[in-house]
């Protein structure tokens, strides 16, 4: 079961408080200047609109937020006693960050304060009480807005730090692989140029000596010839091994997902999976993109990555336990991932039902 973040609990409590302010009207402790059912309907519209505005990051979300603002004003102006109803306007102001700009939220706070002052003045003839109430709720709105804005800024910075961490891990892995490849290539060249060349010369010399007179000498020469040829074969075998030595894929992929903040990454690689340098780089980049997307969008606690061979293909499957996504629309990251595998003759598939799932395939070389 996915853990609920503290900020999510905070939002839930805010909604409960927002719903609670309607209780005096619902149980008859507070009366309204409009029909009872109309007031309750208006409150439901304000509540649902505010919830939709918080959950929808689009133009429709801003429209819903505007509906919540206006509905909140009407709610407050239609009760005979303000009571706790101004809390609705406080919640509306606190929801502004991430939906509308700071200037727009500031204008809404000013308008909310004016509406609160007007509502209080309708039931209290003393202007001092009106000013005190309006000023009190003004300060609460400002404090709530600044608190939510600070939390959202911290979340954004934490997300950027997490993504930078994953990218740094991937770059570190690729740099290590590049260094190993360069070192293996240097050693193989040295072996070929020095020992291989010398043994080739030795073989040619012994081949010429074998045609000399003397049975005993010929026997020793032939034996030396076999040894030299064996040595040359061993050198060539070593060169080939140094050039094509497979990377420990599980270790590499685990390092990319290591210490991902708030995410447990489990990597399993089937025995016998071997990749060349370019394929390894592609899987490392795929792992980077998968972990980054999971941290950014999935709200998941666990990510499982499995790599195995099937029907002449190396198949990478990644599944998280997050919220998933209906109607997956790949962005730049997933499109880039698809292009990388397509360049190697492979393909990538996405599925957002029941968590997010990515399956990437590349032909075995």
Query: Which of 1.25.40.10, 3.30.2320.50, 3.30.565.10, 3.40.50.2300 would CATH assign to domain 247-363?
Result: 3.30.565.10
* Candidate ranges 28-32, 119-123, 257-261; pick with highest mean pLDDT: 119-123
pLDDT at 257 over 50: yes
Binned at pLDDT 50, 70 and 90, residue 66 comes out as very high
Confidence of residue 63 (pLDDT cuts 50, 70, 90): very high
115, pLDDT greater than 50:
yes
Burial class (CB in 10 A: 0-12, 13-18, 19+), 108: buried
The C-alpha atoms of residue 140 and residue 155 are separated, in whole angstroms, by 22
Looking at residue 61, its pLDDT comes to 86
Is the pLDDT at 206 greater than 60? The verdict is yes
CB 314 within 8 A of CB 361: yes
pLDDT surpassing 70 at residue 208? no
Burial class (CB in 10 A: 0-12, 13-18, 19+), 314: buried
Which pLDDT does position 246 carry in this prediction? 47
pLDDT at position 245 over 50: no
pLDDT higher than 80, residue 252: yes
Q: What is the mean pLDDT of residues 50-67?
A: 85
Overall average pLDDT of the 304-319 stretch: 91
Sign of CA dihedral 32, 36, 37, 40: positive
33-37, 98-102, 244-248, 328-332, range with the lowest pLDDT: 244-248
In this prediction, residue 219 carries a pLDDT of: 66
Average pLDDT, the chain: 80
The pLDDT value given to residue 186: 65
Helix 332-343 × helix 277-293 angle, to 10°: 160
pLDDT band at residue 111, thresholds of 50, 70 and 90?
very high
pLDDT tens sequence across 179-188: 666 666 666 6
Question: Quick one: pLDDT at residue 106?
Answer: 93
- Global pTM value: 0.59
Predicted local distance difference test score (pLDDT) of residue 285: 87
Six-digit token string for 338: 């698809």
124-141 tens-digit pLDDT: 778 888 899 999 999 999
User: Which of 115-119, 173-177, 322-326 shows the lowest per-residue confidence on average (mean pLDDT)?
Assistant: 173-177
pLDDT at residue 196, rounded to an integer: 62
Rounded mean pLDDT, 189-198? 62
Task: Take residue 263 and report the two structure tokens written for it.
Answer: 């995410």
All structural domains of the chain with their residue ranges: 6-159, 186-244, 247-363
* Per-residue DSSP letter, 5: P
For residue 247, the surrounding DSSP H or E stretch is none
Please give the distance of CA 291 from its chain centroid, rounded to a whole number.
5
210-238 pLDDT, tens digit per residue, is 666 666 566 656 666 666 666 666 666 66
């Amino acid at each position: 079961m996915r853990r609920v973040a503290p900020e999510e609990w905070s939002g839930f409590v805010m909604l409960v408080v927002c719903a609670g302010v309607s209780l005096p009207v619902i149980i008859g402790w507070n009366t309204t200047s409009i029909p009872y059912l109309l007031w309750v309907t208006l409150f439901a519209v304000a509540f649902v609109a505010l919830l939709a505005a918080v959950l929808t990051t689009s133009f429709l979300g801003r429209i819903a937020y505007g509906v919540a603002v206006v509905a909140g004003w009407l709610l407050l102006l239609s009760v005979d006693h303000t009571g706790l109803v101004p809390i609705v306007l406080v919640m509306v102001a606190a929801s502004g960050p991430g939906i509308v700009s700071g200037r727009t939220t500031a204008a809404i706070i000013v308008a909310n304060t004016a509406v609160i002052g007007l509502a209080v003045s309708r039931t209290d003839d003393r202007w001092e009480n009106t000013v005190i109430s309006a000023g009190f709720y003004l300060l609460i709105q400002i404090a709530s807005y600044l608190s939510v804005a600070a939390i959202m800024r911290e979340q954004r910075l934490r997300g950027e730090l997490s993504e930078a961490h994953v990218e740094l891990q991937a770059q570190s892995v690729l740099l290590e692989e590049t260094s190993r490849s360069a070192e293996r290539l240097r050693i193989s060249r040295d072996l070929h140029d020095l020992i291989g060349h010398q043994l080739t010369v030795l073989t040619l010399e012994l081949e010429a000596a074998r045609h000399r007179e003397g049975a005993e000498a010929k026997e020793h020469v032939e034996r030396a010839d076999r040894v030299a040829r064996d040595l040359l074969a061993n050198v060539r075998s070593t060169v080939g091994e140094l050039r094509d030595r497979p990377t420990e894929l599980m270790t590499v992929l685990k390092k990319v997902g290591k210490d991902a903040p708030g995410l447990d990454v489990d990597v399993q690689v089937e025995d016998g999976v071997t990749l060349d340098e370019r394929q390894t780089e592609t899987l490392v980049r795929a792992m980077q993109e998968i972990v980054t997307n999971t941290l950014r969008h999935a709200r998941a606690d666990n990510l499982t990555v499995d790599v195995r061979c099937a029907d002449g293909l190396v198949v990478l499957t990644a599944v998280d336990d997050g919220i998933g996504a209906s109607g997956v629309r790949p962005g730049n990251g997933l499109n880039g991932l698809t292009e990388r595998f397509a360049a190697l003759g492979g393909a990538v598939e996405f599925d957002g039902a029941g968590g997010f799932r990515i399956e990437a395939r590349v032909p075995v070389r």
